[in-house]
Amino acid sequence: MALAMVGAVWAFPTAWVLFATFWHAGHFTVANLSETWAAAPFGRYALNTAVIVGGLFVVQAVFGAVAGFVLARYPFPGKGVVTALFLLQVVVPVYAVLIQEYRIVEGLHLLNTKVGIMLPYAVSGIAVLTYRQAFRAVPRELEEAARLDGYGTFGVFRHVYLPRALPATLAFAVVSVTYHWTDFLWPLMVTDSDSARPIAVGLAMLAQASEAGLQWRVLAAATAVVVVPVLALFAAFHRRILAALTTGLDW
Read off the CATH number of the domain in which 216 is found.
1.10.3720.10
Per-residue confidence (pLDDT) for residue 251, from 0 to 100: 44
Q: For the chain of 251 residues, list the mean pLDDT of each consecutive stretch of 10.
A: 72 76 74 76 89 96 95 91 90 85 94 94 93 92 90 92 90 89 92 90 78 66 81 75 56 44
- Identify the pLDDT of residue 221: 79
Which residues constitute the domain of residue 57?
A: 27-245
If residue 171 lies in a helix (H) or strand (E), which one and from where to where? helix 166-181
Domain count of the chain? Answer: 1
> Considering the domain boundaries, does residue 215 fall inside one?
yes
In a domain, 119, yes or no: yes
Report yes or no on 220 lying in a domain.
yes
Contacts of 122 (CB under 8 A, 6+ apart): 56, 59, 60, 63
Judge whether 183 lies within some domain: yes
> Is there a domain that residue 201 lies in?
yes
Count Cβ neighbours within 10 Å for each residue of 162-197 and write b for 16 or more, e otherwise.
Answer: beebeebbebbbbbbbbbbbbbeebbebbbeeeebb
β 23-24/27-28 pair status: antiparallel
CA 27, CA 32: separation in Å to the nearest integer?
A: 12
**pLDDT score of 245:** 58
Question: Of 101, 58, 94, nearest to 190 (Cα)?
Answer: 101
Residue 234 lies in a domain: yes
Tell whether 9 is covered by a domain: no
Q: How confident is the model at residue 116, as a pLDDT?
A: 94
Q: Is residue 102 part of a domain?
A: yes
pLDDT in tens, 68-79: 999 999 999 999
